[in-house]
């Protein structure tokens, strides 16, 4: 019995090590060496995690970087300037959990910027439990998707003016574990349970980002604005530590799982931004507008994202949820 236990432990450890090695060896790398002097990028959630490292990478290539975040970003700005020598860094404070705040940010951007070359919809939040915003929207869905959906619509004019330009939606392979429907696009409060709080709402929001990229690319046919969804891989960032209002026991189990399994198998933020960088910098992917990228190459999306009828219904419902004016509809 003792030998069986030892053998089982050894087998698990060996499998774990092999998996970690495999994951490291299959990480995509961006080889596009493009200088971005004169270009402008707006990154949501650029104060930490992937957003910060993307801001750092773009600033290092001479890009003017606008970091839009709900937290104060002045220290982040100083850090980026110190590391890159690029002082052309701007910070904006806004909250994706407020449609009003999104509109205020857009007014600020359009009043102060002559161009926008890259819109990077990066900000996100993990499990949120039974939390709803002042707009009556599920907190996770609004921060991860609805807020970016509105932001993108309102900045289309500036992106067209600056074309060729790109829109990037940060997504996740967790989108494959969705249960998205028209009925739970704005997750009903009576359906929010433990699993939903940690997986389904997040997964649904990431599927919506993939759908938005596909549908928006169709609507922008004939323009030089291209759109992409990006899966960065499993990256252990602050999103794993911001769990919203969830039961304490569930939260404890969640953090324990992340410490034991997720963190050891995760890639670094520098590795996690490679696909996003590839999409931002590579000029040869124009033909792949609307597609999902992972490991710096096109990746097949969840089946629901390829269901045109379903995608159109999600798009139309999203327009209503974010309260677009008739002249703002693309």
| 44-59: pLDDT as tens digits | 998 989 999 999 999 9
User: How far is it, in rounded angstroms, from Cα 304 to Cα 314?
Assistant: 11
Tell me the chain's radius of gyration from C-alpha atoms. Answer: 20
> What percent of the chain is predicted at pLDDT more than 90?
67
- For residue 240, what pLDDT is reported? 47
Name the pLDDT band for 194 (thresholds 50, 70, 90): low
Query: What is the DSSP code (8-state) at residue 132?
Result: B
CATH for 2-328 (3.40.50.300, 3.40.50.720, 3.40.50.2000, 3.50.50.60): 3.40.50.720
User: Considering the entire predicted model, what is its pTM?
Assistant: 0.88
The mean predicted confidence, pLDDT, of the chain is 87
User: How far is it, in rounded angstroms, from Cα 295 to Cα 27?
Assistant: 6
User: How far is it, in rounded angstroms, from Cα 53 to Cα 230?
Assistant: 15
Can you tell me the mean pLDDT for 210-226? Answer: 98
Q: Would you kindly state where each structural domain of the chain is located, as residue ranges? A: 2-328
- Among the residues of 220-273, which ranges form H helices? 248-257, 263-265, 269-272
In the block, residue with structure tokens 């619509």: 153
Among the listed ranges 28-42, 217-231, 279-293, which one has the minimum average pLDDT value? 28-42
Enzyme catalytic residues: 202
- For residue 44, what pLDDT is reported? 98
| 313-325: pLDDT as tens digits | 999 999 999 999 9
- For residue 249, what pLDDT is reported? 46
> What percent of the chain is predicted at pLDDT more than 70?
78
Residue 97 has pLDDT above 60, yes or no: yes
């Amino acid at each position: 019995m003792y030998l069986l236990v030892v053998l089982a432990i050894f087998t698990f450890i060996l499998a774990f090590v092999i998996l970690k090695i495999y994951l490291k060896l299959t990480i995509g790398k961006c080889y596009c060496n493009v200088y971005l002097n004169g270009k402008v990028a707006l990154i949501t959630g650029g104060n930490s995690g992937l957003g910060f490292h993307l801001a750092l990478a773009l600033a290092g290539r001479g890009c003017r970087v606008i970091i839009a975040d709900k937290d104060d970003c002045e220290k982040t700005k100083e850090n980026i300037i110190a590391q890159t020598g690029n002082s052309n860094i701007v910070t904006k404070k806004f909250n994706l959990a407020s449609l009003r705040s999104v509109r205020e940010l857009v007014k600020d951007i359009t009043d102060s910027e002559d161009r926008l070359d890259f819109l990077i919809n990066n900000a996100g939040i993990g499990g949120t439990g039974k939390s709803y915003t002042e707009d009556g929207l599920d907190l996770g869905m609004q921060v991860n998707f609805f807020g970016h959906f509105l932001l993108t619509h309102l900045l289309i004019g500036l992106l067209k003016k600056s074309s060729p330009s790109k829109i990037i939606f940060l997504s996740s392979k967790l989108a494959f574990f969705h249960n998205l429907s028209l009925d739970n696009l704005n997750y009903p409060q009576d359906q929010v349970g433990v699993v939903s709080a940690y997986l389904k709402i997040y997964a649904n929001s990431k599927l919506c980002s993939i759908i938005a990229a596909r549908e928006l690319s169709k609507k922008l046919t004939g323009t030089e604005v291209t759109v992409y969804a990006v899966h960065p891989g499993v990256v252990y960032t602050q999103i794993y530590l911001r769990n919203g209002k969830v039961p304490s026991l569930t939260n404890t189990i969640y953090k324990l799982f992340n410490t034991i399994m997720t963190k050891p198998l995760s890639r670094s933020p520098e590795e996690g931004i490679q696909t996003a960088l590839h999409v931002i910098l590579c000029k040869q992917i124009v033909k792949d507008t609307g597609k999902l990228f992972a490991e710096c190459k096109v990746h097949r999306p969840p089946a629901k994202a390829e269901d045109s009828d379903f995608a159109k219904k999600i798009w139309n419902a999203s327009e209503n949820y974010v309260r677009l004016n008739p002249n703002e509809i693309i």
